[in-house]
Structure 1
């Protein structure tokens, strides 16, 4: 096929090139892409930005992210200045100097949560106030450095052992003096709330309390003296080996931390010297008990106190353990011992008075110990029968020599009462034993009365009968 064709008239014709297709107009698309991207970006930004007009303590944070807002809040507080008029002249400090802080991150997060940019109804909210926290120690240091003439340092309370009284004692704290940190803090707070970057305040001098108070030292002294009061090695509740106060104090070291705490430590090596000598004081053989009882087995007199035998256990580690215990304020160290029980010997005693035979018999363990011929009460003064017990005893007494009695006998020896004013006693004014002769008492020879007096303890049973 050629590029042309022959007509009937012999002329040659060429094909006209085809008309190019009309191109589509895409200019609107290209123009629209930047505008759409901008809109998307604005929407995205509104999701992380704080609404316009928002503020915290006068710091404008509208249009900022929470992070940027937190930085702005902290920066403003740090840079806020307070001009202090003090007795030493003019002093200028910043929020940063005073150690002032706020929880800026939390404030910014809350501002965004309450007033996000994507929510037009939250735009231009009312400003938010916030409480400033000031580091009192940092503030006092800053003011002291800038106006040293206004500062007098406080004196901490101290603790020391007094050898004369053998006790720990407190030296009381003394307050110092310095610029009123509270007034400076209040001025900073007021300026920050008002959105001001500087302010002025008149500050007086006020007492500056010592870091270590008298009360804190007193508490430490009470603990230390409690250790001295009870220091020793114990077996049960018995302080078997006491540690004298001076020795216990020599074991202890008291270290204050300057903030009110007094750490106690103890020298285990020094304690070991005491531990080395424990066996001689702790070990002992059992001591058997010896007691007098009535017919019911009740003890009326202990002649010998029973004691368990004991042997000290392993003392390895005792010194270190006691040192740790002393550091905790406990001066009572419990020793491990092996105990041997004691035995008890019981002796039963009772007295029998037979008015028919005019005898008094001492019974011991069911056997007759002694029998004496006596003189009991005569006539209207007959000795009363019954079951009694020895009560009050006296080695010598005047009898009847008071109003109401029709007799007076001086220096009556070895008196042991069993029923009111009836009792056993020695008799020097007659020797007619075996016949009722007395005003109710049991008359005995002086030697017999002395033997009964020594043998019969208070509580001994007395049976009087015919």
Structure 2
């Protein structure tokens, strides 16, 4: 929105508000008088009433030194448009010149409205100061965009001056509170003087070349304002935020809450606010920690589509459904300086079923078993473990987790050689982890074992690469394999 000569201009982080010497009323009066002087011309025998009746600009009417006498409103508007496009503002400071188009400098000219003023100009000299301002919502013929003038001033200051630095706030070293950062004074062009130059160029539609001096400029945000903002920010993040969902509890610590705070410049104050996108990102992260993609079932079938055996069981997915409501609730609670405790609502996602065509012969199995021979199939592609006697499935397939990148589960044919009902895993020099009292441990090669993993939230494709190389199972499944497998039972690990 274009505003004419405000005493101050709100700015964001890239703009600094400045205080002009003249009031809004005084600037409107000056603009009106300038326009009146430009347009007040002798009528050379043509009365204002006659000119109006003819709908032509009266004799002697001109703009920017170019005569528009006798022109229609459309012709006058075309001249005004051309003059505005050719008008420039050149400011010289300390020997350096910065040139800007009238539009970039903030001069706003409504060609049609100014054409009307010129064609009806017989009475402009007697008009009130508001004649060129807003009248009943009408667009003013000429005006100056104070924000654009401020931007030009900052462009000049950046090249030849020393921009003032606003005081600000930042998180403390621990990240769980805020502290003020002092600002500093600068040197720049006087905004009131620059505004007057742009006004003159806008009203006369003639290029202006002016030399201006640098003056001292204070930061828009004082150190005291930053101290107050830091205190406001601390109050904003003081309350706890906790979410629950799918049996999990998730808490945003103070440092996380501090990352949600943003600031805006309003006049001479620094306003703290919660950034909705930052809160929403944390809620998304919390939701993702409990969400689960569905795992489709896979059945092995022969070329005619006949079922041979199930290769992978289905598992429903889980989706959080109230992200936006939770985000809004957190913001509302913290704005009110109150704690927030909410629930992530979920819904199940149905898993699909697929068929995989395989050989109908025994060559489809990873191991050539003797009749009735016990063996365990670890399929790292499907993330399943299955118990066989001969070629008959006796348990499974069961979804499992295997080794992740850097800790890949080995492949090959091995035998069970050691079992423990309970054992500490890791927990000694050279190991990067320690899990105490892990139940139902069945070793089949070196440190590779099948065992329970009560710490795992999910099993199967999507969460499978979660171990240090062992085969992780729900406790009841690990117990089953511990009871069933004998020392010497064959274990085949493969993709």
Could you say which TM-score interval applies, normalised by the shorter chain? 0.3 to 0.5
- Larger Rg: 1 or 2? 1
Q: TM-score, normalised by structure 1?
A: 0.38
